[in-house]
Amino acid sequence: MKPFRGLYGMVDVPPSGGGVPAGRLARALLDGGARIMQLRMKGATAAALAAVCDELRPLCRARDVLFIVNDRLDVALAGGADGVHLGQDDLPLAAAKRVAPAGFAIGVSTHNEAQARAAAEGGADYIAFGPCFPTSSKVDPDPVVGLAALRAICALPLPVVAIGGITLDTVGDVVRAGAYAAAIIRAVNSAPDVAAAARAVTSAFATDSPSR
């Protein structure tokens, strides 16, 4: 899997449309230095998700950025994505690996040490771990794990993406805890200047060093 240290861009858009169009948001995140991009459309039909996938895939290809589809392995494969990101209630990692082609990246969201170790031992290409801080981007968020738990998980032998409630003021904390990347929705996507906010995250990973 290509390196993607820094901002894990999240194109988090409602399936009904509204808000910033997916393509415009993706371009701003790419302009800000995102090296990996996830399309996240909770509750969208496969058809709606595939249509946006077709829009974002060439944008990521043009920048040599990894393109990931959230939850839906079928859409990720059919849409020519570089990988899929699975939650704890999605298709199990072992089942996804049986049908994924060589070189196809599989990430897994984890929320405690047992889940993180299981994903690492099961062959995930990277894991997301959190929430590191209280978050409002999920309806029923998992308990906050905190920076000490993040630091411990970052000792695992695979990239760890910090998730949950991270802001431009706290991104340096997750970098120093050892995170390989940070997925940030509200503080970046809702900023007055999305590209500038994305660049701030990119800069934090370039200037701060992990503690381990």
Question: 70 falls in which pLDDT band (50, 70, 90)?
Answer: very high
> Does residue 40 carry a catalytic annotation?
yes
The answer on pLDDT for 76 being more than 60 is: yes
Question: 210 falls in which pLDDT band (50, 70, 90)?
Answer: low
Measured CA to CA, the distance from residue 196 to residue 82 in angstroms comes to 26
Mean pLDDT check: name the lowest of 13-17, 91-95, 193-197: 13-17
Q: What is the pTM assigned to this prediction?
A: 0.94
Query: Which domains are assigned to the chain?
Result: 6-207 (3.20.20.70)
> Does residue 138 carry a catalytic annotation?
yes
> Does residue 42 carry a catalytic annotation?
no
Question: 142 falls in which pLDDT band (50, 70, 90)?
Answer: confident
How far apart, in Å, are the Cα atoms of 28 and each of 10, 63, 149? 11, 12, 31
Catalytic residue among 2, 24, 61, 138: 138
**Looking at the DSSP assignment, which residues form a beta bridge with residue 126?**
107
| Backbone CA torsion sign across 69, 75, 79, 82 | positive
Residue 191: partners with Cβ closer than 8 Å, 6 or more residues away: 197
Catalytic residue among 35, 40, 72, 151: 40
Catalytic residue among 35, 57, 72, 109: 109
